[in-house]
Structure 1
Amino acid sequence: VDAINAMQANGLKSVETIGPEIDEPVAEVVEDLIHFSLRLDTESVDRLLERGWRNRGPMDFMSHLAGPLLVEVGTRWARGEIGVATEHFISERLRDFLSTRWRAANASAQAAKVVCACLPGERHVIGLHLAAVAAALAGVHVVFLGADTPIRDILSAVDRVGAKAGAVSVAGGASTDLLTHQLKVVRRGLPRQVSLWIGGTGAGAAVLPERSEYLHNLERLQTLASRLAEDRTPL
């Protein structure tokens, strides 16, 4: 409330007054997005996201705008500078924006399929939506399972749709031993010819199983997805 009052005292900005230049500093765009999120202004937040996507392009938008936005929102929430409602609001706007993009880009049912899921315990799905966008834009068909998915259901989905890869998001709060065990179970349950791609905040801490790929950035995921779409042997 105090933050909103301070903004009102200084004069509320309109989204139309923010310049459309592609080199607009990311910090300023992030501030504008948080500014309008504090007001729960859906239209202005959506328009800023749309403009960022259009001006920067999908990969730059996701890596250099959406990423810093999520970090800043999380930092301010942890410091008590924004409330749960604001954090949930902006996360939901970004989730909705990204899901709309990958659904629009999703290739035909005849394309190579990738099952995207969060491992058990992982309830945050925005990272998975970022991965889904990168994969869909590369030409594969995304089958999205979402948060907190039991391993048996991930394996079943891969089998049922004939997926060529499973992309899993790993929780940051789980123990290293648990994550290592879960990933081994997933890898053992997948056919040898099906790729396993692993990303998320906890992926770097886990011991990854053989015949798996650590997705250290979205560009790596897009490279792998492009190879599947072209029916080439994954790296």
Structure 2
Amino acid sequence: MVYIRNKRVKGMDYSYLVRSIWDKKKKVSKQETIKYLGRTEKITLDDIPEDYIDNKNIIKFFAKDQNASGKNYNKYVEKVRKDLFKKLAGPGPINLSIVYDEYSDDFSILEFYDKIVKHILYDVGDRWRRNELMIGTEHVVSNRLLGIISEMNKKDVKKKKKSKLLICNPSGERHNIVCNMLESILTNKGYNVYNISPSTPSKDVIKYVANIEPDMVLVSITLPANVQSGINLVKNISKGYDKPIVVGGQALTESTSKRFLPAIVMPNENTLEDNLKEIKYLVPA
């Protein structure tokens, strides 16, 4: 087993990369120093030999704020994104039910979606637009992410309260991973969530709103081609609905946002945590 051991000398913490070895004769575990790393507060992932940089104990050391500077933590987050993308895009089978478990010590569900999954989605979209990713690979990654979210929805669900939220896309919008992330987060917070994405016809969304009478309608739009459809959807919902309508998604810009009135538009720079706070303010669980 390889890990980083700290040693305090005259009030200063110093770190060593060590290996734990079992002595068969003495039947005890002994430590072997692989490398002296220096002052704990100054070490970075670059100080770790390449053979050990992917070791789980090393990764977890840099994940903890108390052991790492912001720079180190950002490097760790970037590494998790790259490693998970590689796993999702790879040919091998994946047990989707345990993927989040590998990172749960370092990321809450909200942080996992916000810092990891969301950025993988952006990266996949950018690569596809630059013709650096085959459409088949894009679909494999997206479907596996949907599977991970589905498995996470089964974990630690709080008892549901009375508040009802409806999540939808405008007609034509097939991208619904963000909708599923929202469903997962909001369900975990105790909301009754009705997720009717993707691409539900406008007339059916309006009928569903009238049927379940939600406390809020959330509309997600990823592709710019679906902005006008989203504007029409908001306009039609608001004719017979006087509760909050919230719109968000990559497709929105500063100029198009004004066209969604009376809906509340979530800025693209918002984190999922920012959006959750706004939702909880408008509709307490």
Q: TM-score under structure 2 normalisation?
A: 0.65
Q: How many residues align?
A: 218
1:3 aligns to what? none
Question: Secondary structure, in 3 states, of the residue corresponding to 1:114?
Answer: strand
1:82 is aligned to 2:133 = yes
Q: Which has the higher strand share?
A: 2
- Within the candidate set 123, 129, 135, 2:186 is matched to 135
1:198 aligns to what? 247
Cα RMSD for the two superposed structures: 3.1
1:163 is aligned to 2:209 = no
**1:164 to partner: Cα distance:** 0.6
User: Percentage identity across aligned positions?
Assistant: 20
2:31 aligns to what? none
Question: Secondary structure, in 3 states, of the residue corresponding to 2:239?
Answer: helix
**1:160 to partner: Cα distance:** 2.0
Q: Which has the higher helix share?
A: 1
Question: Secondary structure, in 3 states, of the residue corresponding to 1:139?
Answer: coil
1:112 is aligned to 2:112 = no
1:20 is aligned to 2:60 = yes
The higher relative CO (CA closer than 8 Å, separation ≥ 6) is in 1
Summarize the Cα distance change of 1:168–1:15 in structure 2 as closer, same or farther, 3 Å threshold. Answer: farther
Question: Secondary structure, in 3 states, of the residue corresponding to 1:93?
Answer: helix
User: Any gaps of 5 or more consecutive residues in structure 2?
Assistant: 1-50, 64-72
Instruction: Please identify runs of 4+ aligned residues in structure 1 that moved more than 4 A.
Output: 13-18, 44-48, 103-110, 175-178
How far, CA to CA, are the matches of 2:95 and 2:223 in structure 1?
Answer: 31
Summarize the Cα distance change of 1:99–1:225 in structure 2 as closer, same or farther, 3 Å threshold. Answer: farther
Paired residues for 1:28-107 under 5 Å: 28-43=79-94, 47-102=98-153, 104=155
How far, CA to CA, are the matches of 2:150 and 2:222 in structure 1?
Answer: 20
**1:168 to partner: Cα distance:** 0.9
Paired residues for 1:183-194 under 5 Å: 183-190=234-241, 192=242, 194=243
1:126 is aligned to 2:177 = yes
CA contact (8 A) 2:222 2:249 kept: yes
2:69 aligns to what? none
Paired residues for 1:134-153 under 5 Å: 134-153=185-204
